Amino acid sequence: MSGETPHDRRDVDGRADVEIDAEDDGGLEAEEVEARVGLSYTLVQLRRDPTALAGLAIISVSTAVAIVASIDALLLDYWLTQTFWYHPELGPHADTNLPPYGVSNQYYDASRSTLAHPLGTDFRGRDVAVRLFYGTRIAITVGFTSTVIGLVGGTLTGAVAGYYGGWIDDVLMRGAEILYAIPFLILVIVIVSVLDPQRQNALLVAMVGVGIASMPTFARLIRSRVFSVREEEYVEAAKAAGVKDRWIILRHVIPNSFAPVLVQATLQIGLAILIIAGLSFLGFGAQPPQASWGQMLNKARPLLIPNPWFSIFPGLCILFTVVGFNLLGDGLRDAADPRIQN
Amino acid sequence: MSTHETILEVEDLKTQFFTEEGVVRAVDGIDFDVRRGEIVGLVGESGAGKSVAVQSILRLVEEPGAIVGGEIRYKDDLLFGLKASADDPQERTEREEMLSRTEMRTQIRGREIAIIFQDPMESLNPVYTVGSQIEEFIALNREVPGDQAREIAMDTLRDVGIPEVESRYDDYPHQFSGGMRQRVLIAMALACEPDLIVADEPTTALDVTVEAQILNLVDDLQARYDTSLVWVTHDMGVVAEICDRVNVMYLGEIVEQAPADDLFHDTKHPYTSKLLASLPRPDRTVGELDSIGGVMPEAINPPSGCRFHSRCPEAREVCAEVHPDERPSAEAGSHHTVACFRDDAFDVGYWDSPPIETEASGGFAASLTAEEGESG
């Protein structure tokens, strides 16, 4: 050993290393490549993508609306909307079947429409606008909840299957394939019809059902990433340091395999909203008098000819929300893929 | 230094991989030991089985590989050991005193034996800060409260020469250079205060100036922390720099063991000589480096006799027929053990046996080079 104290050596070494860095072009390139796949890089890329930003804007607005509606319904007992607007479920607020403001056709006279009910009233005289506002709450809630169910279940299953491989992988992934083969819409309808004839919990069953149905997609997606991540040296290093498998999966494997799952989750929220709106339309989701878009469409069905606006407005709501999630999902996918040059 | 107790003892270790093409004998009966405070080198070409050997020590070999024989002792613990089964003498089962998988994980890995991996770019998790990763390992392997783990992590980072630790502590791995990351990995290994660190080619990915700094650092820290090291490398220069004793591996076997100085000045095995000869020397200008003819044979189907005979310039007929085990050299005052018939410890009639043509002495590869020489 040299006569220098450890402290001296450290300073000398530290400085020398910094100098080498500055000259080392290879190191810079590697850093750039790594930065291209990071989360912050993805977000920067996203900012350059106008369609994704439009999607993000739609989602932000609907989520904000849903949060306000939830606070009002759960904490304030509809105080907010009743004070400044109308109760979304109890009516009537005015005459039934009022047309939207300024709209007329051969059945309805525009003079009946009023600014107090800009989108008109429904067959029970309830304000359509406030019901659509509250429909956002159900759509966003079911979208997020069912996706979280699928995301958590699918990610854990797929990560465990991919990490251990072998028979564990076989069992879990065959299970996922069986799940794939089950027609979930029909299963939800059967379960609700048999177990819940009053359809008190139909929306819950629909949410959980759609969530479980989406698990195999997430499981497959993360499993294929885990196969490569588990061979990374930092996983090996964690094993060599005595870290438990469980902890390695949660802390080291899943975060490094998560990017494609996040993209899929965004798309899945839109899909879940669409499916559950469909179930509500069939009467197996949200129940009257709850204000849900699918259920409003259902009630509008026999009145399609005299007053088409009953179905147009909830339809547009569903369309915009789902398109919003899809735009953001596509944008995220492109931004997260370093091979696509924006 | 050599008077210290032996902490790691590997005896007749055999690790095999069961592939569709056949059984790969990656490690085929190696013996070596590590004493307290010593740096032991494990040297050989790519594919010699060095990495598999060190993974076997920590029982990190994964499917389709498995340790099939031998014994690994660490201090008073049996890390691996088999015994003949009571019912079927052919069948061999794990001994009762062998540590369970849980015991390996909680008592040995990280806590007693730590590994530093080859590639500093890949060995840190990109999604966490450097500091939090060291803290994680400390919290796991040392019974200390959270804020103290942070203190220890910072102190260790200072010890390995990371400048401005306070500001770099919460940086992510990609913000560090290769040399700095290797220092972080060394800090991660040291922070858990293991008695043995296995370094699996830790400087291979670094350029030589950084490599020299890291070697000095390791030498320094090793003395300060009184840790033993197993240093895996293919670089004889690194061996000369830091190792106390050296094991030379070829195709799953150790062919020569000696204190580092003896190995360089009194080389016994032709493979070791060829390895040394293939090292570029700045003080000698040569037209072409003296490489080892041929490539290492597949470990699925090793050559008969001495495994090196197909590439050995000294090979004689007996080398292709009889397999040399490793023996202490017969030379007086030598600390070598060697697996080569040229040593007097063997009495198999090497010197009476006629030389044979090999890839090194005059086989196909040699004839190719000769032709090139003539035409050029």
The residue whose two tokens read 């570029």 is B280
Residues B214 and B185 sit within 8 Å (Cβ to Cβ): no
What would the DSSP string read from start to end of B97-155? TBPPHHHIIIIIBTTTEEEE-S-TTTSS-TTS-HHHHHHHHHHHHS---HHHHHHHHHH
* Residues A205/A191, Cβ–Cβ less than 8 Å: yes
3-state secondary structure of B8: strand
A64 falls in which pLDDT band (50, 70, 90)?
A: very high
Chain B nearest CA to A177, separation (Å): 25
- Cα B205 to Cα B184: distance, rounded to the nearest angstrom: 15
Question: Has residue A45 got a pLDDT over 50?
Answer: yes
pTM: 0.77
For residue range B127-153, what is the model confidence (pLDDT) as tens digits?
A: 888 999 999 889 888 888 878 889 899
Q: How many CA atoms lie within 13 A of B370 on its CB side?
A: 9
DSSP string of B210-244, one letter each residue = HHHHHHHHHHHHHHHHT-EEEEEES-HHHHHHH-S
Q: Does residue B19 fall inside a structural domain? A: no
In order of their start, the domains of chain A are 50-97+125-336 (1.10.3720.10)
The mean-pLDDT minimum among B28-42, B49-63, B75-89, B208-222 falls in B75-89
Residue to mutate among B39, B137, B177, with most A CBs inside 10 A, is: B177
Which of A1, A17, A241 lies at the smallest CB-CB distance from B223? Answer: A1
Indicate the pairing of strand B77-84 with strand B65-74.
antiparallel
Residue at B319 is within a domain: yes
User: What confidence category does residue A41 fall into, taking pLDDT thresholds of 50, 70 and 90?
Assistant: low
Domain that holds residue B369: 303-376
Burial B273-303 (b: 16+ CB within 10 A, else e): bbbbeeeeeeeeeeeeeeebbbebeebeebb
Picking from A219, A117, A128, the residue whose alpha carbon sits closest to that of residue A172 is A219
- B243 within domain boundaries: no
- Cβ-contact B326, B339 below 8 angstroms: yes
Q: Which helix (H) or strand (E) holds A335?
A: helix A309-336
Residues of A with CB below 8 A from B115's CB? 237, 240-241
How far apart (Å, rounded) are the C-alpha atoms in residues A173 and A198?
36
Residue in chain B closest to A230 (alpha carbons) equals B125
**Residue B175 has what DSSP assignment?**
G
Considering only A197-211, B175-189, B209-223, B349-363, which range has the smallest mean pLDDT? B349-363
3-state helix, strand, coil in chain B (%, to 5): 30, 25, 45
| Top-confidence range, A96-110, B91-105, B254-268 | B254-268
Q: How many residue pairs bridge chain A and chain B with CB atoms within 8 Å of each other?
A: 114
Range with the poorest average pLDDT among A97-101, B140-144, B304-308: A97-101
Interface residue ranges in chain A relative to chain B, Cβ cutoff 8 Å: 1, 6, 9-11, 13-18, 20-21, 24, 27, 30-31, 34-35, 38, 165-166, 232-234, 236-244, 251-252, 255-256
3-state secondary structure of B280: coil
Lowest mean pLDDT of A154-158, A316-320, B349-353, name the range. B349-353
Contact present, B183 and B162 (Cβ < 8 Å): yes
Q: Exposed, middle or buried by CB within 10 Å (0-12, 13-18, 19+), for A181? A: exposed
- Identify whether the C-beta of residue A294 lies closer than 8 Å to the C-beta of residue A284: no
Site of tokens 């290769």 = B178
- Please give the Cα distance from A249 to A156 (Å, whole number): 9
Compute the distance between CA of residue A199 and CA of residue A193 in angstroms, rounded to an integer.
Answer: 8
Is the CB of residue B245 less than 8 Å from the CB of residue B41?
yes
d(C-alpha B21, C-alpha B132), whole Å: 43
Residue B20 lies in a domain: no
The closest CB to that of B125, out of A16, A31, A252, belongs to: A252
Q: Best interface-test mutation with B: which of A233, A248, A250 has the largest number of B CBs within 10 A?
A: A233
β-bridge pairing B22-35 and B39-43: unpaired
If we measure between CA atoms, which residue out of B299, B298, B280 comes closest to residue B289? B280
Higher pLDDT, A9 or B149: B149
Which pLDDT score, from 0 to 100, does residue A227 have?
Answer: 92
Q: Which among A6, A11, A17 is the nearest to B210, CB-wise?
A: A17
Measured between its terminal Cα atoms, the distance across chain B in Å is 53
For residue B363, pLDDT over 70 is answered with no
C-beta atoms of A9 and B126 within 8 A: no
Mean pLDDT, chain A, rounded, equals 82
For A30, which DSSP code?
H
d(Cα A265, Cα B360) in Å, to the nearest integer?
61
Instruction: DSSP letter for A248, please.
Output: I
The C-alpha atoms of residue B177 and residue A21 are separated, in whole angstroms, by 6
Interface test with A, best of B127, B184, B198 (most A CBs within 10 A): B127
Contact B213 A13 (CB under 8 A): yes
State residue A26's pLDDT score.
Answer: 40
pLDDT in tens, A225-276: 999 998 888 898 898 888 899 999 999 999 888 888 988 999 999 999 999 9
Distance from CA of A70 to the nearest CA of B (A): 35
d(CA A25, CA A22): 8
Cross-chain Cβ contact B58/A21 below 8 Å: no
Contact B351, B286 (CB under 8 A): no
Nearest CA among A132, A144, A56 for reference residue A324:
A56
Domains of chain B: total: 1
Structure tokens at A234: 């930092």
pLDDT of residue A158: 95
Phi/psi at B60 (nearest 5 deg)?
Answer: -105, 5
B228 DSSP β-pair partners:
B196
Residue A58, pLDDT score:
93
Q: Which residue has the higher pLDDT, A340 or B300?
A: B300
Number of H helices, E strands in chain B: 12, 13
Closest-approach residue (CA) in chain A for B173 = A31
CB contact under 8 A, A237 and B123: yes
H-type alpha helices, chain B:
50-57, 101-103, 130-141, 146-159, 165-168, 178-191, 208-225, 236-242, 260-265, 270-277, 317-321, 364-375
Which of A153-167, A295-309, B52-66, B342-356 is predicted with the least confidence, judged by mean pLDDT?
B342-356
Residue B85 lies inside a defined structural domain of this protein: no
Q: What backbone phi and psi angles, to 5 degrees, belong to B305?
A: 65, -140
What are the Cα distances from residue B349, in Å, to B120, B305, B322, B346?
A: 49, 14, 11, 8
In a domain, B318, yes or no: yes
SS3 state of residue B190: helix
CB contact under 8 A, A20 and B219: no
Say if residues B239 and B200 touch (Cβ distance below 8 Å): no
CA distance A214 to A223: 15
- Say how far apart CA B185 and CA A241 lie, in whole Å: 12
For residue B340, being part of any structural domain is answered with yes
Sign of CA dihedral B174, B176, B179, B185: negative
Confidence grade of residue A286 (pLDDT, cut at 50, 70, 90): confident
Residues of A with Cβ-Cβ distance to B58 under 8 angstroms: 240
Q: Which of A2, A7, A17 to mutate to test the interface with B (most CBs of B within 10 A)?
A: A17
Token output for A60:
């932000």
pLDDT-derived band at B361, boundaries 50, 70, 90: low
**Beta carbons within 10 angstroms of residue B191's beta carbon:** 26
Q: Is residue B59 part of a domain?
A: no
